[in-house]
Amino acid sequence: METVSLEKSEPATWYRNVRDTSQRCPSQADSGSRTQGWAWASRSSQSPGLQTRFDGSVDIFFGPTAPESGESNWVPTKAGGRFEALFRFYGPTPPLFDKTWTLPDIERIG
């Protein structure tokens, strides 16, 4: 299981999204996420039920099974393999372009 902690002050005016790009697109009929019963292949700041901390920051979890805290902040990945995380920022603001904001590292937690 891996996680990344994202601050509320990310450089996006609309929303942000993260997905595992090492899997096939969930719209494809033979998608691993559909056949394994996953409801989604990504998490966004607009995802229903997303759990945030009191300061607006959020922890996103990556792994083949959901963390004990539940599925609301979980991006499913294939078991036993590497994954590729793609972060998208909709309505990007200057800190993203002038590189005064950097994405935190994804860290292994278990």
pLDDT on residue 24: 58
Report which of 50, 52, 56, 42 is spatially closest to residue 88, judged by C-alpha positions.
42
pLDDT on residue 38: 56
* Domains of the chain (ranges, CATH numbers): 2-108 (2.60.120.600)
102 Cβ contact list (under 8 Å, min separation 6): none
Regarding predicted confidence, which is higher, 68 or 25? 68
Q: Does residue 88 register a pLDDT over 70?
A: yes
Q: Does residue 50 register a pLDDT over 90?
A: yes
Query: Which pair of structure tokens corresponds to residue 109?
Result: 């937690």
Helical residues (DSSP H) of 1-110, grouped into ranges = 32-35, 94-97
For residue range 18-45, list pLDDT tens digits in order: 998 886 544 433 444 443 555 678 899 9
Q: How confident is the model at residue 14 (pLDDT cuts 50, 70, 90)?
A: very high
Here the contacts of 47-54 (C-beta below 8 Å, separation 24 or greater) are 47/72, 52/8
Q: How far apart are CA 58 and CA 51, in angstroms?
A: 7
Measured on CA atoms in the order 7, 9, 11, 12, is the torsion positive or negative?
Answer: positive
pLDDT on residue 51: 94
